[in-house]
Amino acid sequence: MFRIPFLDIPPLHGASGRVVLPGSKSISNRVLLLAGLCAGETRVHDLLDSDDTAVMLQALRTLGCGVRQDGRVWCIQGLGGTLAVHEAALFLGNAGTAMRPLAAALAVLSTQQGGRFDLSGVPRMHERPIGDLVDALRPLGCQIEDLGQPGYPPLRISGMPGGQLQLDAPIRVRGDVSSQFLTALLLALPLAAAQRDVTIDVVGELISKPYIDITLNLLARFGVVVQRRGYEQFVIPRGSRYGTPGDIHVEGDASSASYFIALGAIAAQGGAPVHVQGVGSDSIQGDIRFIDAARAMGADIRSGPNWLEVHRGQWPLRAITLDANAIPDAAMTLAVMALYADGPTRITHIASWRVKETDRIAAMACELRKLGATVTEGADFIEVTPPQRWHHASIHTYDDHRMAMCLSLAAFNPIAPQPGQATVRIQDPACVGKTFPDYFETLFDVAGADTAEVPVIAVDGPSASGKGTLASELAKALGYHLLDSGALYRAAALAAQADGVSLDDGAGVARVSRLLDLRFDGDKVFLRGQDVSDTLRNEVTGRMASQVSVHPAVREALHGLQLSFRRVPGLVADGRDMGTVVFPDAALKVFLVASAEQRAQRRHKQLISKGFSASISALRADLEARDERDKNRASAPLKPAEDALLLDNSNLGIDESVQQVLQWWAQRRPF
Ligand code: DC
């Protein structure tokens, strides 16, 4: 998704269908680091494609690992425990799953082999604690300098060649702030266990234990079997050595699954379930236990190897009190399910929320209140009482992917026990790129709305007025679908021609139009499987389209196809009768007016840039003649809808036109 400022989600009514999950973030980044540390090549399948994995891949490249893509498989050539690069600056974005383990691994390696590494991230990364990890590593002889505030990144890690790690005493690490510190040590210390057992003692009660299970499971896949006593002591046996498993598959992300489990529990009514592909009952990820919590709230969940199927069960959902320490990330989804419950839901033992991508307790409380919920928060809990009355809400997302994904589920307010009609605006929706770049597309594929509630912006105007460009820029800016209705008439004309149907034969062209096999894929258009993007746009096809578009039967034949573009979250429709016939209820109708002179000059520029010669005066005469024909034709004449706003863009650049329309649009939004 483009980095658009906001995405408005209209009220949603139901959901069903199949969702394929992206790979797990926790597994992806652990596997990448292990592949980078071990000897030989590891082929990683189903890796998550996201911001956090991108920074890890980049870090591995910088450290001299081989990183290449073979189709959808990432092939990592590991270092085999020996540093290839001894000095580097690594930028790790906001990826805790990269910062902590890389810091530990580089500390262990550079203490033994020499090196100097600077690790930094985005400003929020520099507010996320790492002191407990540094405190665990320093007694081993690791030199770690705080380059900013003590206890937080950025860090400088250095060492001299031939150094020794002090491993006589057990390594002590605190486990009560983040389990990632222990994970980091568990991933790094096999690099120092050739000659001796390495023992790690956890100080304080370990939180998020299931993440440690993922770490241990993956270590075993790379040949290192750690012995443990409860979650208090971990021993990496002497002689441990990383070996590549060769091929390794990344499971779907169980935390990401939580949004679709919640979706099924809230909105899969009337038989058809939400089917989730990528994780199942056999998952190694702790967040799969979210299933139990969702069931406790009333979800009806079936599962098998690598799949889940969710129906709405009890409705309203059952309010619960839950210790969510073991599922901190997925538990955020419970806070939003709470909006649909029969009383207050209390989620406890979640102090770690305060040190994640943002202070998630504060953030969640603030945003849920905007929707009308009553929220109480404490140092390590949150309690949510559903709204009596829903409010339209513009949700701030704090550069936190999970805030954006969770809060999108508030758009189902029309089916809440106390129904609402609220539009939910998600600010900075692209922040989901951290773990689930296609989240909104995936959600909208399975979510249903009342068509009448899906907003439409209709754009029309005379030939060469720039309506196509304006419509496409608006669609991009709002994250809406685009209907270039002219393209449908153009395609119909091409198809008729290919079938030997006369363009004057209305019934014949209509028949072809009803079976139009047309597919839009980004900027490309495929007719009957063939790429017709260029042919579609040329002047000759334009004239053919004009010829077929006068037949009422053809207009009627394309009507249904045009309506089908009206899908969540919204549509920008460009063309002749968008605001009058096809979408008379469009929420905003814009009619471009620009002088024939201006339009002729624009077209002239266009033609010249494509290497065609043309005269401005001839173009102008042609446009004027076409305007006249278009205005006076019997079927769908060129005229603004009565409630259209006229935009004279004779002297406006495209950006200015887009800004003007966005301003009009903003005035019609409830925020
Ligand atoms: O917008 P365009 O140049 O691609 O349109 C091609 C022709 O189709 C043009 O003559 C107008 C006609 N048309 C129409 O009659 N109704 C529409 N909704 C869109 C285009």
Given this model, what pLDDT does residue 631 score? 86
Tell me how far the alpha carbon of residue 75 lies from the centroid of ligand 1, in angstroms. 49
Is the pLDDT confidence value at 80 over 70?
A: yes
**pLDDT tens track for 289-342:** 999 999 999 999 999 989 999 999 999 999 999 999 999 999 999 999 999 999
The reply to whether 287 belongs to the active site is: no
Instruction: Characterize 427-448 residue by residue with b for buried, 16 or more Cβ atoms within 10 angstroms of its Cβ, and e for exposed.
Output: bbbbbbbbbbbebbebbbebbb
Question: pLDDT of 93-136, one tens digit each?
Answer: 999 999 999 999 999 999 999 999 999 999 999 999 999 999 99
Task: Say what the pLDDT of residue 464 is.
Answer: 87
Query: Given pLDDT bands bounded at 50, 70 and 90, which one contains residue 221?
Result: very high
25-249 CATH choice from 3.40.630.30, 3.30.1330.30, 3.65.10.10, 3.10.20.30 = 3.65.10.10
Taking CA atoms only, the protein residue closest to ligand 1 atom 14 is 576
Task: Check pocket membership of 414 for ligand 1, CB cut-off 6 A.
Answer: no
Distance 602 CA to ligand 1 centre (A): 19
Average pLDDT of the chain is 95
Residue 542 beta carbon below 6 angstroms from any ligand 1 atom = yes
Sequence-distant (6+) residues with CB within 8 A of 578 are 456, 458, 459, 460, 483, 485, 586, 589
DSSP string, 532-593: -HHHHHSHHHHHHHHHHTT-HHHHHHHHHHHHTT--TT-EEEESTTIIIII-TT-SEEEEEE
The 3-state DSSP class for residue 448 equals strand
In eight-state DSSP terms, residue 423 is -
CA–CA separation, 202 and 191 (whole Å)? 20
Q: Is 549 in the pocket of ligand 1 (CB under 6 A)?
A: yes
Tokens linked to 104: 């530990």
Residue 127 is encoded by which pair of tokens? Answer: 């507010």
Name which of 388, 361, 363, 360 is nearest 374 in CA terms: 388
Q: Are 38 and 244 in contact (CB under 8 A)?
A: yes
Res 1 pLDDT > 60: no
* pLDDT recorded at residue 629: 84
Contacts of 123 (CB under 8 A, 6+ apart): none
C-beta separation of 155 from 118 below 8 A: yes
Based on its alpha-carbon atoms, the radius of gyration of the chain, rounded to whole angstroms, reads 29
489 CB less than 6 Å from ligand 1? yes
pLDDT at residue 2 is higher than 80: no
CATH topology match: 6-22+252-448 vs 25-249: yes
- The answer to whether the CB of 385 falls within 8 A of the CB of 343 is yes
The domain 6-22+252-448 is placed in CATH, from the list 3.65.10.10, 2.40.50.100, 3.30.565.10, 3.40.190.10, at 3.65.10.10
**CA-546 nearest atom, ligand 1:** 10
Q: At what angle do helices 485-498 and 506-514 cross, to 10 degrees?
A: 110
Record the pTM.
0.88
pLDDT value, residue 616: 93
- In the prediction, which pLDDT does 197 show? 97
For residue range 478-528, list pLDDT tens digits in order: 999 999 999 999 999 999 999 999 999 999 999 999 999 999 988 899 999
Choosing among 3.30.200.20, 1.10.357.10, 3.30.565.60, 3.40.50.300, the CATH entry for 485-568 is 3.40.50.300
DSSP-derived 3-state class of residue 196? coil
Checking if the pLDDT of 281 tops 90, the result is no
Report CA(576)–ligand 1 centroid distance (Å): 6
Token pair 């009190």: residue: 321
The arithmetic mean of pLDDT across residues 76-80, rounded, is: 97
pLDDT tens for 134-175 read 999 999 999 999 999 999 999 999 999 999 999 999 999 999
In terms of DSSP bridges, do strands 345-348 and 321-323 run parallel, antiparallel, or are they unpaired?
parallel
**Rounded-to-integer distance, Cα 12 and Cα 511, Å:** 35
Check if the beta carbon of residue 316 is closer than 8 Å to that of residue 341. Answer: yes
In the block, which residue shows the tokens 């896949």? 221
Domain 454-480+569-671, CATH: 3.40.50.300
Which atom of ligand 1 approaches the CA of 562 most closely? 18
Pairing between β-strand 73-77 and β-strand 41-45 as defined by DSSP bridges: antiparallel
Using the mean position of ligand 1's atoms as its centre, give its distance from the Cα of residue 35 in Å. Answer: 55
In the set 46, 287, 329, 577, the catalytic residue is: 329
Count helices and strands (H / E) in the chain.
Answer: 21, 33
Query: Pairing mode, if any, of strands 456-460 and 17-20?
Result: unpaired
Closest residue (by CA) to atom 6 of ligand 1?
Answer: 486
Domain locations in the chain?
6-22+252-448, 25-249, 454-480+569-671, 485-568
Residue predicted with more confidence, 626 or 317: 317
For the segment 240-264, what is each residue's pLDDT rounded down to a tens digit?
A: 999 999 999 999 999 999 999 999 9
Distance (angstroms) between ligand 1 centre and the Cα of 489 equals: 6
Per DSSP, the residues of 469-515 read HHHHHHHHHHT-EEEEHHHHHHHHHHHHHHTT--TT-HHHHHHHHHT
In a mutational test of the pocket of ligand 1, which residue from 482, 576, 626 has the highest number of ligand atoms less than 8 Å from its CB? 576
Band (pLDDT 50/70/90 cuts) for residue 603 is: confident
Atom of ligand 1 nearest to the CA of 636: 15
Q: Which residue has the higher pLDDT, 1 or 305?
A: 305
8 CA distance to ligand 1 middle (Å): 29
94 CB within 6 A, ligand 1: no
pLDDT at 530 over 60: yes
CB 654 within 8 A of CB 469: yes
